[in-house]
Structures are given as structure tokens and as C-alpha cells.
Structure 1
Amino acid sequence: MRIRPRRRAAVRPLRRVLSAGVVLVLVVPAYACRPELTPPGAPTPWPAAQARLWQWQWQLSGPLDTAVDADVFLLDPVETTAAQTAELRSRDRRLICQVYVGSVRSADPDASRFSDVVQGSAARRPDSRWLDVRSWDALEPVLADRFRLCRGKGFGAVAFADADGYASRTGFPLDFDDQLLFNRRLAQLARSLSLSPGLVNDVPQLAALAPDFDFAVNEECVRLRQCAKLLPFADAGKPVFHVEYTGATDDFCVTTVGYGFASIRKDRDLDAWREACPLP
């Protein structure tokens, strides 16, 4: 008769061990979960404490894949619909629109608003021409409307593409300082419209423009051996969204994640496919 109490006493420690095991099973995965990120707003905030935590997607061609596991989407504001941006925003995704600020294509909806006087030599994109960035009074109204399209569709940030015409044969005598002034004016214009400004490439001017911009977008700094020039942004706790088109992520991620960049591998047509570097 005395054995029963002893058996009960032996069961209690076992129950405690099992309970502790259950707690460990529940708690341990929580440490592997990703930290909660600050929700986006307008203009989009980029908390310095989260600078190394972003996963991003850059898609400018093909059907938009809104299911990609990314916090930040860099998209075409003309092709992307308001319904698509609404879906992404409902899941707290940060949305950046890419606006070509230094060139115009004949097929652009607003191409007729750029007079022949401000259009120069053939630019990078097919059927496009460089713009005379010294002509701020002529360009500002059109670019402001491009930014307003972004805001109207729900974007909270804008990335300036072709913002480095001074380094190409544009047909105009543009110099380094002309481009700096233009890019700073663009950043101010974006902020006045509740958009966070970012710069695409323009690597030689990154150090000078780091105080004026909230983030940088870079293509192929590993292949071109330019990654160290992006450190003025990373060191300031500002996101650097980086892409390589060649090489294996196992090779270049070691370098770029170490620098603090958000890095991915993409095809050059920037469709939905991507391969992301792991978070540090």
C-alpha cells in the first residue's frame, strides 16, 4: 500500500521534465524567427537598427509576383496597378517606384511634355534620350507628376534612375556639379511629396549625396569592384539594395552581407526570379 505514493512521487518529476521539454520546443524556434520590422508609412522610414535586416525584390518585367518573400519591392510605377500595391501594403511591404529622371523614351506617356530643347543624345534604354538636367524649370513639373503618380498608387519611396548623365555623352556639357545640384533638387522634391528618395547607381557621387538620400540601389558592385564606395550609406545605417547578374550567391554574399548590404542575384531583364543572400 505504501508503494502507490512512491509511484506518484516518481511520476511528478517526469511530468516536470516533459513540461520543460515542451517549453523548450516552443521557445527555441522563436529565437530563430526574424525580428519584427517597423511598418512602412509615407514617406517610407528606414530605421537604422533594421538596416541589415531587409530582404528585397526588384521587378520591372513580366507578371508581378506579389508572393515573393521580400520586405521591399522596387517596381515600375506605370505598369504596377493600385490593386497590386494595395495588396502588398496590406502585408506591410515597403514599395519603391523606379523613376527615370535623366532620360525620356518616346513611348513614355509624358514624352510630349519634354521639349526638343532639353532632349539630347541617345541614352541607355532603347529609344530613349538624355535630358538636360541643368534645365530644372522645364523638367521639374514633369518629374513632379511622375512622383505624384507613385504616391497616388501607394508607393512610399522613389528610386532615381539615369541620375548620372554627366558621366555619359548626353549631347550637353554636363559636369559633376550640374548632376549634384539636380539630384539634390530631386531629393527635396520627393520629400515635399512624402516620398523617401533613393539613388540608383551613380557610384562616383554616393559619398557626396549620402546626406541627401535615404537609400541606395546598386548594380554589380562586386563584379565592378566598387562595393567599398557604397559604405557611406551602409555606415550611416541607410539601406543599400544590391544586385548581381553573374556569379553565385555563395561567392558574392560573403562580401556584400559583410558590408551590410541587402543583396540578391537576378537576371538582367529583372523579371520575378531572384535568389536572395541570407540575412547575417
Structure 2
Amino acid sequence: MADGNSHSEEPHDTKADTNQRGWVAKRWGWIVTGVVASLVIVGLAVGLGVGLSSRHSSSGASSSNASSDGSPKNDPTTGDSSSAASIWQPAVGVKWHIVLQAPINETEIDVPVYDIDLFDSTASIIAWAQGQGRKVICYFSAGSYEDWRPGSASFKPEDYGNGLEGWEGELQKKDATALTRTTLTGYENDSGLDLTTDTAVDSVTFLADATHARNMSFGLKNGAKILSQVLDLIQWNVVEECVQYDECGDYAPVIDAGKPVFVIEYPTTEERPSYCKPSDTVFDLGNIVGSIFKTLLLGYNSFTTTDGVELAYQSHGDQAKKPLILLHGFTGSSDVWGRNISALRENFWVIVPDLRGHGRSGRRPDGKDATVSRLGKDLKELVDWLGLNDKDHTDQDVARPSCIAGSLGCAITWSFTEQFGQNVFDKLIWVDQAPLQNYTQDGTWGPEHGNRSLNSSESLTNMLDTLSTNPDDVYKGTVDGCLAYIWDPIWGRQQFDSEAAYLKAQEDDTSFFLNIAKQGDPTWFGKLMSDHTTLDWRGSIKKNFSAASDSSTDILVVASERSGCFPAAGPMWIVDAILEDKNKTNNAWDPYVHGVVVDFGGHWCYWEDAGKFNDLVLKFLARQPTNQ
């Protein structure tokens, strides 16, 4: 959920200049209640220049990527009507600012995303914003006729619907998709037109296709009732007044899909809502509203560790349900679980932290915290912060948490148990991680078990050198090794309908994971991997989880026969080690451990085929505890 700072607009004043709105909100004043009769917002894509931007501005300049009629030029080599550049997908949590009041270069708020009026902004304004490294979203009303807009004369009388109350000179029109909260939706109110939700979906689909063909990203404004049908078409959602109307939960699927929700509230000076203090300004209000959405949508939260580092985590689902923690791996973030959260939250309170030094979480500047041990302590502090540490079961109202850990996340749970004891977790699911990365000189651990590429001091040195000179090469190599369809391209191509689809998936996934990795510091990552690769967890796993131990935790080990990181025998060693003494003890705490070797993906199988992975882990998590 993104914090939103907003300037609002009043209904159009026909006595004012036809190129300007009537504005009442001042930059540091209260946001005054208003409405924006629009559903659709278009954002300029990554890499697009002023030409394409100005084609959609009031200047009327043409784009070098478009023909004279405004349609995109065909690529002379592929025949593709879209640009080769990737469509911009903003990250969940990105800060934004909506300015429909004044040229944005007259503001002083430093945020990466601006939302401006399409027709009231010039090409030079957009160029200025892009020159500052900002992305620009251009607002326009796709659901109504506005008589002061360019091109309004093109509409015929039979296209007009009923007028919009409070908006002189504005009418609903045939292709209306939906209107804002104040005016309801086009298919619910007295529009004078035969509008349905199918009409709305058709219109959004048309606009999204036209936008994407021009290599621009596309966003929806409000539209909760059609969200499930158009979620795949949008890159973000702008939402008005969901706090006031208690509707924020309706937009949780957008967050779950890894797309941001930009929020606007309209408190008045006469009736300040309970979440505003008298001294709050517009800018402060954005942070306050953002905090509210973290609670209502159970989006991003944070806490401060005992060594003073702020750690971020996502929280999804009903907190009365059994807690389930998801731990990502090296260079990842909580966003890598975006394809799994929706299915898991149906039955669990899902908690997804950004590991220290990753994603939105902080780290110590001296780098001394880049250790698996410290990450294990962070997990302990998260569990304590959320009140989940009831290992003695004295409080029957507190359910023992379970945890799904991928890659480095597995080592964090092993470190946690070594430091803080057994039986905190009800169930643990370890995904494609062997207990030792490096090969051993005594021959007990080699190519049949250890990491396929990062398995020696020499390979670590090479990685550290590359991290210091060209970290993107390391990040790209990680993606190539962790996604089976890239690591094994012959098999991978068979999973797609066409070569174009295969290459598009590779481009999209690589961009997604690289952008996440770039949120971290390569030097810090190098220190963490230096620690991780030296650790041998074989003895610790036997001591803490075998039948001879006091463990009451059920365990599922997931390995992949298509992993580019480990041969399946590496993770599966854990199952054999835990069961080794199963028949040699009368211990009442006889643990359940199960191993599965999958073929539907690689090291990140939970991303490659989320449906199969979700089914697998949900069946295990639904199993009645062995030891209770």
C-alpha cells in the first residue's frame, strides 16, 4: 500500500478559464472534499521519452514511437505493435503524490511517482519530472463527458447520459466504466444509459489494450466490483475514501498480486476524521492514512530490533487464524511470495518479513549484522513482537506459528532453533536448501549434495569480486539458476505456447527479481553470503529435529529435480537424517517428517507454479499435528 499525498479538485467552474479547474485546497492546507469522475489513469512507461509523453498532453506534439494518427508504429524487425521497452510496474509501497492543482515543478515534495492531469499538463512539465528521475501518471476522465476538455465536440448527443450531480458541464457517456465514490458507479446510478458491469469490463479491457500497445502502464481508479475481472490488466489501483467507507479490504487482491494501491482521503476542516490531529498538514496526512491502511489492509508494518534496525513485514488475513510466517531467500524480499499469499491467507494469518538488509528493511551501516545468526535473532524478535512465542503452551489462545522458508530462509530457522530452542513452530516447510553449501575436503559432502556453483572459497571470491564491480551480473545469475525454465531452457520452452511467450516470461521475471535485489547493498549481500556458505547445519539439524530430540515440530522438505542450485539429494539428506534414529527411541515426541521432490519448478518453485506449490503446502499444513 502506498502512502498518498493529495491535492483535491472541486466541480468544474464554467465561469473560470476553460483550461483550469476551480481549486480550493492549498498545498499545506487540509484536503477539501471533492470528486474526480474517472476510473482510468494512464502512466508513462519506463524508458519513454518526452515525445510519447507529449502526445498525451495538451501540447499536441507527436511521438517518435507513434504514427501520425496516434497509433503505435510496427517494429520493423518483429512486426510487434508495441515498443521493446518493458511496461512500468511500480512496486508495492512506493510513495506517490497527486497534483491536479499546479505544475509539479512548482512543488517541493520529493517522491518517485507523480499523478497529474493529462490535459492541464504540458510536455515540458512531464519532461521535467522524467528528468528528475520520476515516473508520471496522467489522469483523465474515461467515464464521463466534460464540455471543457479538448475533443469534447467529437461526442454526439446520443452519446450523452444524465448529468453528474455537483459537476456542471459533465455528463455520463456511453463508454462509462465507473464513477467515483461520490457519484457511485455508472452501472449503479441513474446514468440514463444501459450500463452493466460487463460494459465496464469491456471498456477497461479496450483502454488497457490500447495503453499497453503504446508501451505504457495502466491503472484503475476505484472499481472494486470489477476488480477480479480486470486485475491482470492493471499495474496499480487508485482508491478514494476507502477508510471513510470501510472498503480498504476490497483492494487487498491488488496488493497480493504485487501491485500498489494509491490511496486518497478527503477530510474537511469542519469534520476532521478520528485519524487526523488538528496540526496535521496534507503531507503529514499522507503518512497517517498510510499507517491506517497498513492496519486495515494488513499491508506493510515495521518494528525496531534490539540493535536499532527497522524491519518491515507484510501482514495478510485474519489475525485470529493460525499464524504462518514466510521467509524469502538471498537478495529477495517479501514480494517474492506475491503469488502465494492469496491462497494461504484464506486459512492463515500470513506474516511475510523483509529480511534485514533486503527489501524495505534496514541494516547496520558497519555491516557487522550480515550474518545468519543475526537474521535468526530477527526472526525471534518478530515472533516476540507479534506475541507468537508460546512454546510452553500455557496460553491456549495463542496458536503456535508455522513457517515456510525458502533457500537462505531455511538456514535462518535452523539458526533460530539453535539459539532459542525447539517447539516454537508447529510446522516447518523447508524449500530447496541443503544443510551445507560448500563441498567438504573429507569427501562427506560433494557434488551429489552441495550447491551446484557456489560451493568453494574460490567460487565465493569470484562472486564477491563481481558484486563489487557489477552486482547486476550476480543478481541475473541468481535468477537464471533459481528459475527452472531459464536454467533448463529445453524443458522451459515446453512450458510455454510460443517462443515469444517464453522470452516475455523470462524478461518479466528477470526484471522483477532484479528490481528487488537492487533494493539491497551488494557489499552487505557479499558479507552475508560469506557467512552463509561457511555454515554446516548437519549436526544441528540432527540434534534439534531428529526422533532422538525433544522436537514437536512437523517438517516438510521440498526439493526440486529441476533446481539450478542444489541436486535434490542435498535437501533430501535432511529427511534421512531426521528419520535415522526413528526406530531407536521411545521418545513420545516422535516427529513427522516428509520429503517431496517436485518437477514443476526449480529453486523458486513457489513462484514458477504457485498453484501446485500452494496445494502441496496447504495439504501439509492442514494435517493434524503429530504431537498434540
CA distance in 2, matches of 1:253, 1:55: 10
Which residue is 1:131 aligned to? 173
CA distance in 1, matches of 2:89, 2:126: 19
Deviations for 1:146-195, whole angstroms, at most 9, x for unmatched residues? xxxxxxxxxxxxxx984842122211121111111111111111111222
User: 1:223 aligned to 2:231?
Assistant: no
Indicate conservation of the 8 Å contact 1:40/1:92, yes or no. no
What secondary structure does 1:165 align onto? coil
User: 1:118 aligned to 2:118?
Assistant: no
Which residue is 1:214 aligned to? 235
Which residue is 2:266 aligned to? 245
Counterparts of 1:97-246 in structure 2, within 5 Å, are 97-123=138-164, 125-133=167-175, 162=179, 164-246=185-267
Deviations for 1:181-211, whole angstroms, at most 9, x for unmatched residues? 1111111111112221101112222222211
CA distance in 1, matches of 2:141, 2:129: 23
What secondary structure does 2:198 align onto? helix
Sort the Cα spacing of 1:86 and 1:62 in 2 relative to 1 into closer, same or farther, 3 A. closer
What secondary structure does 1:128 align onto? strand
Indicate conservation of the 8 Å contact 1:40/1:93, yes or no. no
Gaps of 5+ in 2: 1-44, 49-85, 268-272, 277-284, 301-359, 362-628
- The amino acid of 2:171's aligned partner reads R
What secondary structure does 2:246 align onto? coil
Indicate conservation of the 8 Å contact 1:75/1:96, yes or no. yes
CA distance in 1, matches of 2:113, 2:262: 9
Query: How many residues are paired up?
Result: 197
Flag the structure with higher helix content. 1
Sort the Cα spacing of 1:78 and 1:222 in 2 relative to 1 into closer, same or farther, 3 A. same
CA distance in 2, matches of 1:172, 1:93: 39
Sort the Cα spacing of 1:90 and 1:161 in 2 relative to 1 into closer, same or farther, 3 A. farther
Which of 100, 125, 129 is equivalent to 1:84?
A: 125
- The amino acid of 1:41's aligned partner reads G
What secondary structure does 1:74 align onto? strand
Indicate conservation of the 8 Å contact 1:76/1:98, yes or no. yes
Which of 76, 91, 97 is equivalent to 1:57?
A: 97
Sort the Cα spacing of 1:189 and 1:171 in 2 relative to 1 into closer, same or farther, 3 A. same
Which residue is 1:46 aligned to? 89
CA distance in 2, matches of 1:181, 1:118: 17
Sort the Cα spacing of 1:112 and 1:122 in 2 relative to 1 into closer, same or farther, 3 A. same
What secondary structure does 1:70 align onto? coil
User: 1:70 aligned to 2:111?
Assistant: yes
Larger gyration radius, structure 1 or structure 2: 2
Indicate conservation of the 8 Å contact 1:161/1:199, yes or no. no
By relative contact order (CA 8 Å, sep 6+), the higher-ranking structure is: 1
TM-score (norm. length: structure 2): 0.30
Indicate conservation of the 8 Å contact 2:161/2:171, yes or no. yes
CA distance in 2, matches of 1:251, 1:78: 31
CA distance in 2, matches of 1:187, 1:74: 18
Which residue is 1:272 aligned to? none
Which residue is 1:256 aligned to? 293
TM-score (norm. length: structure 1): 0.64
What secondary structure does 2:168 align onto? coil
Sort the Cα spacing of 1:95 and 1:63 in 2 relative to 1 into closer, same or farther, 3 A. closer
- The amino acid of 2:254's aligned partner reads F
Sort the Cα spacing of 1:128 and 1:221 in 2 relative to 1 into closer, same or farther, 3 A. same
What secondary structure does 1:199 align onto? strand
How far apart are 1:251 and its partner, in Å? 5.5
Counterparts of 1:13-24 in structure 2, within 5 Å, are none
Gaps of 5+ in 1: 1-38, 135-159, 262-278
- The amino acid of 1:61's aligned partner reads Q
Indicate conservation of the 8 Å contact 1:101/1:162, yes or no. no
Indicate conservation of the 8 Å contact 1:120/1:130, yes or no. yes
Indicate conservation of the 8 Å contact 2:163/2:172, yes or no. yes
How far apart are 1:101 and its partner, in Å? 0.7
Deviation larger for 59-68 or 124-133: 59-68
